Amino acid sequence: MFQPPERPAFLQPGSGGYGIAHSLPEFTFEETPLGLSGGGGGGYGAGSGAAGAGDAGPGSLLYTSPIFSTTGSSVGPASGAFHLPFHHSTSPSANTNTPSPASSSLAHHHLHQRSSPLSSSSSADMESAHDVNAQEAAARDYQPNLQGPLVGNRIPSTVITEAYAKADPVYVAKTMVRYLAGAPRLLLLPLTQAQMLPQTYSHYRPIQGDGNCGWRAIAFGYFETLLSLGNKAELDAERQRIESLNAFIQTAGGHPDYVYQPMADETIELFDRLSAVFSSPEAAMTELLDSFNNAEIAGAIIYHFRLLAGAWLRGNADSFSAFITSDLGVSGYAEATIERPNVEIDNLGIILLVNVLLKPVGFVLEIAYLDRSAGSEVNHYRFPEEANRSHPSELGPTIHLLFRPDHYDILYLAGPPPPPPTTVPEVDLQVHRVAFSQGYEIASTPLHSYADELHANPLALIPGFDAGPPGLNTVMGLGTPSPISPFTASPASPWMSTPFAEPMPQHSQPPRAPITVPTPISAQPPQRHQLRFSEYCQLPEYRDTWREPAFQTSTFKNSHFNVAHYNNPNFQPEEYKPDADESELAPRVGSRKRGSV
Amino acid sequence: MPYEDTHTSTAGSIPAAKLGGARKAAEPGQNAMKRLQTELMQLMTSPAPGVSAFPSADGNLLSWRATIEGPDDTPYAGLTFKLSFEFPSNYPYAPPTVLFSTPIYHPNVDFSGRICLDILKDKWTAAYNTQTVLLSLQSLLGEPNNASPLNGEAAELWDKNPALFKTKVMDRHKDLEDD
């Protein structure tokens, strides 16, 4: 059942490139001006010549995306005529994290949309390349070419995957789609342990990369979360709190009121406008989006938050001075980084802003770092720092950001769509069943590839043990719906998302310790993130009426990917015994029957 | 319900009418005007010695004229310099463009009147204002940053030949008529 993981072929030094299975040639890559088809193509090798490339074994990964025009019938590892224009690289360096011009440029394809000053002037200054004056003039006149709205609309996160599909293998791995429910296009790629961004996060919201994106993303997420809570009193309370911080900016930040007052006024006015239309979530969201796309308003709010962070830094200089490594000092750092317009937020800035803005209201910021760090999994980190030790269900409303080098966007967790309440469980499970049946059709040994994905942690195969990789949740269709999202937790069916939100005691921090006693979920008081399913589940009138949903295949019904048994209030996760063979892992069915009295 | 979907369906563009109609104070430069009015009030009620500034005669609040008196004990003592301030519409989130209108011989000013001063470039924050810029420029007259000169000859003469420097300052200086 479980096999040791294979290292991804493309990460092995010396392996002959990074193969793309047969189906890929039918996918039409755009010819980019970056010369991807040239020598510096970033380590794409077309074909099964690469180690394990065309193999549908453990190292394989189903890649589906609407953009791929391959038909399902052609998906197969067996044969391969390779038409890819990509340079077949045999250089080990091309398979490692060595940046190549093409891949790194592609990586930023969807990011800032701006070219560097040098590149914008390079052609004009070709003959006077060393003319410092010309370069200085170009730099002086340089205007970044920023496109798109300041804060974009929510769009499916598969867009990110598509943008990265042509990029460096590290990025490909981290953004890989395994499957999308209902997506008919399948591809096989020799990737393992891929963090499937679109599975964890269904949507994202692009933020303009004008140097304020981190500030803008957090500020927008703050307001959006306030709206999603659906609590007008909380919104008004936050308005009071933010307004009361004006004095803090003056005393701790040392700014006279004419500096911060116009900016704080814009923030307060936004609170007021949101409060005025609060009864209509749609109108409030429109107001928020419009305000953040108004450069005048957004600029003021963002700078207001910069001033808040700067004041927090100066007001807590003792706590933070050790983190300022430059010789600027606390005040110099605040001026040079925090309060300097259009300068991107850094880690300390995030900590400061979280401390002054999010922590007092109980919000959590979680950032997924999609960068070129080693490994094939997106790293996550939460702010404030102590939130990293907490179970997701214990966290307050969480703002998710996606970090790509020098840029932040807002992410939204994949959650079940908000369909009619009475049909949701079956609909949702049906979706995943279909998705997995695709997997079974395509991959001959799907469990093996799953095991690889789950970081080869045997515990991860057991429902109830989240070994940490978000891939598990998503593979199992257990993506936690974003508590901040008003779209997954609509007032009409607030409990509907929860069967998949908090189905099991996930001990993700110490994942290796087997547990036998399920956490009594009902012990948790109703929280504002609306994870109320357990409460519903424990109601006596429902306890006896719980019925196992009908499934269409016994294979799936008995599979540990079936999450239906989490609906059973008497469900007990099985205990994992490392020495036991597979037959002893079976009593799941029995326990479920016991529970369904 | 998924009201966000309505946004998604509007194909990524924020209708301009919506933006304009969002609120009244949203026109570009509105906040800059407000801020500049405040600064003007401050300059008039508590003027700093040796510097002054006022919006230019055409009534455009984004365009100012300023004067700096050369500090005593510097080669510029007794001279008066006029400057122009052009404020961007996103002021104070971006610095004003400041030029010397009066020809000046100074290591950090070129012959077009452009100034090399960090707070007018990458050190700018919204906490600076017109008065602090003028006071910084005034102190720059007495303490040039000779490490990064715009006028290399001036930077050299400042240390090596103060007398010649003073001569060049006086040669270059030319009082402008009031505009």
- For residue A284, pLDDT over 60 is answered with yes
Question: Any idea what DSSP says for residue A585?
Answer: G
| CA–CA–CA angle A8, A14, A20 (5° rounding) | 50
What's the pLDDT score for residue A60? 40
* Chain A residues closer than 8 Å to B151 by CB: none
- For residue A291, pLDDT over 90 is answered with yes
| Distance between A565 CA and the closest CA of chain B, angstroms | 28
Tallying the residues shown for chain A, one arrives at 597
Residues 6+ away with beta carbon under 8 Å from A106 = A32, A34, A36, A42, A163, A164, A166, A167, A168
Q: How far is CA A550 from CA A536, A547, A564, A591, in A?
A: 21, 9, 10, 17
- For residue A429, pLDDT over 80 is answered with no
The more confident residue out of A118 and B142 is B142
What is the ipTM score, two decimals?
0.80
- For residue A223, pLDDT over 80 is answered with yes
Q: Which residue of A has its CA nearest to B121?
A: A140
Distance CA(A86)–CA(A581), nearest Å, equals: 45
CB pair distance less than 8 Å for A296 and B12: no
Distance CA(A562)–CA(A247), nearest Å, equals: 55
Q: How far is CA A82 from CA A455, A467, B159, B175, in A?
A: 31, 38, 71, 77
Question: Which residue in B116, B133, B141, B169 is the catalytic one?
Answer: B116
Helices (H), A490-539: 533-538
What are the DSSP calls for B70-112, one per residue?
A: PPTTSTTTT-EEEEEEE--TTTTSSPPEEEESS---BTTB-TT
Burial class, A40, CB count within 10 angstroms (exposed 0-12 / middle 13-18 / buried 19+): middle
Examine residue A494 and say whether the peptide bond preceding it is cis (omega within 30 degrees of 0). no
CB pair distance less than 8 Å for B123 and A282: no
* Average pLDDT for chain B: 85
Residue of B7, B26, B94 with shortest CB distance to A296:
B26
CB pair distance less than 8 Å for B8 and A286: no
CB pair distance less than 8 Å for B4 and A303: no
Residue A254 banded pLDDT, cuts 50, 70, 90: very high
CB pair distance less than 8 Å for B126 and A342: no
What's the pLDDT score for residue A50? 39
Residue A12 banded pLDDT, cuts 50, 70, 90: very low
Q: Which residue of B has its CA nearest to A336?
A: B123
Average pLDDT over residues A13-30: 43
Residue of B3, B31, B34 with shortest CB distance to A281:
B3
Nearest to B150 by CA among A140, A143, A135, A133: A133
Distance CA(A268)–CA(A263), nearest Å, equals: 9
CB pair distance less than 8 Å for A336 and B123: yes
* Average pLDDT for chain A: 65
Residue of B12, B34, B124 with shortest CB distance to A153:
B12
Residue B89 near residue B28, CB atoms below 8 Å: yes
Residue A432 near residue A517, CB atoms below 8 Å: no
Distance CA(A595)–CA(A570), nearest Å, equals: 5
Q: For A260, list phi and psi in degrees, rounded to 5.
A: -95, -25
Residue A358 near residue A399, CB atoms below 8 Å: yes
Give pLDDT tens digits for A538-579. 555 555 555 555 555 666 666 777 777 677 777 777 777 777
A311 C-beta neighbours (distance < 10 Å), count: 27
User: Percent of chain A scored above 90 by pLDDT?
Assistant: 25
- B116 catalytic, yes or no? yes
